[in-house]
Every structure is written in structure tokens, then in C-alpha cells.
Structure 1
């Protein structure tokens, strides 16, 4: 998937409902209430935080290209796609952003340092300039290398075999494999910069980076599911085991102790609106979340009915029809799963 296709895919989901900047925040993985709830409202989990270091300038350049290609209409309030954009047939992707939330970069950094070390030490060269200087990363890799008995040639061969076999199973393109491999450094070769990789493949730098992220997501999925013991070690703490953000987990613990929304805000010294965001996230991800402390069943049904009848999830539009409902209650109702009792 090219970066423009990624942006169009997200925009299709939120067309006429969100601003031009909303895909930018989602792609970067902004943990704001608005971005988190949009993931649930519009089913955008795969694309969350796929490019945490995305620069606004590069994103804006892409937006301008979409205008020039007549894929976007001028609208100061919301995303307004043209029929040409809405008719685009964009292939399915292998992204799993909500699961990894940018941690595929940690996996790649670990892999880079491990590959470099094995490349040198297997040739009896013990001194080299590490490709990554971060102390926490180096400490982690040292512990990992000791566990796999990295000085034994059998371990080096097994590691290489696992890389080849797992990449084959991942089913990613040859270009994607090459892009990931070109980031690695070893004896006699240096990893390429993103600019060099993009130039070598005739790609925009964002497309090269996105291709790597998609490849890494697919690859780590395979490593998790199949029997690759050496590579599995590199995935430690890479996968987000909880569907909830850490801050929301802390709010949940206090809520389970019987504290009210206002009491939780006071204890955590956070704005009430921030705690409301946490409850919306809970409603979005926990099918057993009891919403009745904040929202009656009848009001929930009214909000859902208005949303469906008007074919919108814009809070302001629903509020116009249900003035007695608070914005928090509307957000909560929209976040709840259809099967919610």
C-alpha cells in the first residue's frame, strides 16, 4: 500500500465527518480521545501508529497532491472526497497498527544489532562500531545473544534459516523483503538510509517506509504464530497485550474499586474530559463494559437510532436532534458494540 492509498483509505471511512488533519493524527498514533474513539467508530485499528515519526510537512505535501489529482474537494470544515476518490479500488493491506503501535521499529533495531553482531563474531571479529548506540537497546541485545549461545556457528546458521523461512511464510513482496534487508548492517556492508532505499526502488520516501512497516507487521505475525524460537525472542514486549492504552487501564482499576468519574479525575489529577476519553475507550474495546452508570438504555437507543437514520457519527449533528444528551453520552453510545446489552 502506498502512502496516498493509506490516506485515501482512512479518508473514505471518515468522509464528511472529520477534518483533513485527522488521518495524520491516526497514522502518527496520537493518543487523544478523538483519535482513539475514531479508531473504534470507523474500524481503523490497522492504521493506528503505523508511522509515529511522520512529519506534518510531508503529510501536507501529500494532501496537496490529492487536491491536484482531483481526489479531494475544497472544504474548510471536513474531508470531502470526490467521486473519483470514492471509486478507487485500494488493495487490502497487512497492517496491524493497533497491535504493534510503532514497536515494529524496536523489533527492527534489535534485529539490526543482532545481525551485525552475528555477522562479525562468526568471523572471529569481536570489535566493531555498533549500528545502534542506545544503551537500553545494546543491553537488551547482549542478554539475548547470551541466551542463544551466539558464538556457536550452529546458532548463527539456525538464526539465518529462521529468517529465510519466516519471511517466505509471511507472503510479502520481494521488494518489501529487500527494503527491510537493506536496513541491516553486517561485515562488509552497511545499512542504507531511507533516502537511499527510496531512490534505489524509485519510491517516495514515505512509500518506502510504509512498505517496511507493512512487511514487519506481516513478518512478526508469522514469527508469533509459527515455531521460530530464535526470532520469537526478538518480539519480547513488542505486541500490545492489552487493547487498552496504559492510562485507560489505570482509570479502569479505579472504576472497578467503585470510584466515580469525578473521583477518578481528582485522584489521577487529570481533567474530567480526559477520564471521559478513557471511558469511551473502554466502551469501544470491552464488550462487558457497564455503561449504565453514565447512560440510560433508552438514551443509548435514541443516540444509536439518530446516528443510523442520519448516517453520521458527527457529535454536533446528533446533539442537534438530542439536545438533552451530553457530548460524553453521545460519544459513549457510539463507542459501544452493537451487541451491548
Structure 2
């Protein structure tokens, strides 16, 4: 666990322990999500929901005593002497996206394994033992079989060749070995773990990274059957109230009209817009950042990513514009 925690401080930023803890257990308040965005920690939201705050603080103090972290002041910590992660562990962290797939990962992966098993056995072995029996899995697959029949096997084969071919070869090979089908029983994730990942937390993080890397490829190919089958699961990671708000804005309603129709306070609508901006690469910032506020922020000296709202409130900048300006600035820097 030490290596993982230290990797969170890799940027050299001063991180507040309480906010970092809230991020790791999955508390998705606007302040925590903005913290995650600005410090490149969003992929780790909710990875360890059962960790106690006391145990986390003890772990931090242990790292301070060993010189790996520096206790700055007022609950902030900074990286001390470095621990270099292996290339394999760095790759695991780079493929994680728990903010996007944390709730959906397990069920979406089960659905993929199930549809592959069914398509592979279709018209070959009618008495196989299905991996799933719950209607949430069986009904969509039954509908898909009815639509595609024997063609589904070839469709999935071509799609998997495409999707797995876009992944690192070692990851693709591991995932391929986990699929069951006609005359084939797939291996479990833990059977496929490399020796270096046998201990916590890597024995937990590695399968997550494999699956989430695959899902990111699926979401880039919205015309595929795999996407159509898995997309409903991906919605589990969205705040349903936020989605309703988003739909109204996309339909052309104004901020005031959305508040009225949703019967929600402006602050709640702000939260929904900020989450939308964090999740959607195509979010149109210009539609929601007040031009006057953007001009004031653009003329303010310093790094926008280090500002706190109380530092700019005197400029008569509204909080939504401030938060979206920071997210926009962060996104623009990723492009360079």
C-alpha cells in the first residue's frame, strides 16, 4: 500500500490528507472531485471504500517517519524521498479509471464474459452451464441472439480482435484467457495475475486496470455491439439526477428554467454541471462560464490551478464559472 499512496503524491503537490481520504473512499462532493481533477487523482475515486480514516492517517504518519512523506502543516503532506514504481505498476495506475467505471466494472465485465460464452456455444452445445442466470444479464443477451442469431459469434470475434488489438499486447492476452466458450473454460483474474502482483493492493488493482482499459476502448467505438451491450452499465457511474439536469440543458433550456423544472437549488445545478464537465470530453465550457467572470480570471496573475475560490471571490466571480475555468485550464494543459 505504501507504493500506491506515494504514487498519489508523485506530482510533488501538497495534498490535504482528509480530502485525499474522502476521494479514495468515494465521497463525490464537488470539492473532492475538483481536488481530484486538479491533482490528476480522479481515476482513483472510490478505489478503497472500506479503508478507515484512522488506518489511513496511521499509514501517512508511518511514511513520514520513514522519510517518504513530509508533514507540511495543517493536515497537508508532500512527497519526501522517492520510491520509483516499476514500469508494470506505473502501467496499472495509468489504465485505472475508477471515476468512470467504479460502479459498473464488475457487472459490465460479467456481461461481456457471458455474451461471449453464449455466442460461442450457440448451435454447438445446447446444455452448457451459463455463467449468468439473472435477468439483467440474460434478457439483453437473449434479445441480441434473437437479432443476430449465428452471426453474433462472428460479430463478437471481429469486435474483440479490434478492441483487444488496441490494448497493450500483454493485457490483451490476459483478457483473452479469461473468456469461456465452446470447449473452453476461462481463467479467473487471480489465476492470470503476474507474480509481482500477488500482494495487496496490486492483486486488486491489476484486474481493475485490465478491465477499465478495455472499457475505455469500448467507449471509443459506439457503433459496436459490445458498446451497445455495455453502455447501460456505464450509466451506473453517473449521478442519475445529474443526467436529468444535463438532458434539460442539451434540450436548450436556460439555467433558470432548469432550476425551475428540476425544483432544485442553483448550487445543486452547479454541482451537476461540474460533474458533467469532469466526465464529458465534449463539454462546451463557453455555454456555462460567464464571459465577465472568464475575463476577470484570465487577467488574474498566477496559476489558475492553485487558486481557491475565496481568493477570487472579491473579483465578483461566481463559483460555477470559477470551477469550470479551472477544469477548462486543466483540460487545455493535457493537450500540450
TM-score range, shorter chain: 0.5 to 0.7
Q: Is the 8 A contact 2:118 2:181 kept in 1?
A: no
Q: Summarize the Cα distance change of 1:207–1:132 in structure 2 as closer, same or farther, 3 Å threshold.
A: farther
Q: Summarize the Cα distance change of 1:204–1:313 in structure 2 as closer, same or farther, 3 Å threshold.
A: farther
TM-score with structure 1 setting the length: 0.66
Taking the aligned partners of 2:29 and 2:52, their CA distance within structure 1 comes to 21
**Aligned partner of 1:289 among 275, 287, 290:** 287
Q: Is the 8 A contact 1:251 1:275 kept in 2?
A: yes
Q: Is the 8 A contact 1:116 1:187 kept in 2?
A: no
The residue aligned with 2:213 is 218
The residue aligned with 2:170 is 173
Q: What do the CA deviations read for 1:52-91 (whole angstroms, capped 9, x no partner)?
A: x743259956972783454333467444123324977874
Taking the aligned partners of 2:11 and 2:208, their CA distance within structure 1 comes to 21
Q: Is the 8 A contact 1:50 1:213 kept in 2?
A: no
- Matched residue of 1:145: which SS? helix
The residue aligned with 1:140 is 140
The residue aligned with 2:109 is 108
RMSD of equivalent CA atoms? 4.9
The question of 1:278 aligning with 2:293 is answered no
Taking the aligned partners of 2:194 and 2:58, their CA distance within structure 1 comes to 22
Q: Is the 8 A contact 2:289 2:321 kept in 1?
A: no
The residue aligned with 2:95 is 94
Q: Is the 8 A contact 1:115 1:186 kept in 2?
A: no
Taking the aligned partners of 1:333 and 1:55, their CA distance within structure 2 comes to 33
**Aligned partner of 2:301 among 299, 305, 313:** 305
Instruction: Show the 5 A alignment for 1:205-244.
Output: 205-222=200-217, 231=226, 234-237=229-232
TM-score with structure 2 setting the length: 0.66
Q: Is the 8 A contact 1:112 1:184 kept in 2?
A: yes
Q: CA deviation at 1:158?
A: 6.6
Q: Provide structure 2 residue ranges, at least 5 long, that are not aligned to the other structure.
A: none
Taking the aligned partners of 2:98 and 2:59, their CA distance within structure 1 comes to 25
Q: What do the CA deviations read for 1:114-138 (whole angstroms, capped 9, x no partner)?
A: 244356556524253x433432122
Taking the aligned partners of 1:217 and 1:300, their CA distance within structure 2 comes to 36
Q: Is the 8 A contact 2:164 2:214 kept in 1?
A: yes
Q: CA deviation at 1:220?
A: 3.9
The residue aligned with 2:17 is 20
Instruction: Show the 5 A alignment for 1:116-131.
Output: 116-118=117-119, 124-126=125-127, 128=129, 130-131=130-131
Q: Is the 8 A contact 1:166 1:223 kept in 2?
A: yes
Q: Provide structure 1 residue ranges, at least 5 long, that are not aligned to the other structure.
A: none
The residue aligned with 1:334 is 326
> Greater RCO between the two (CA within 8 Å, min separation 6)?
1
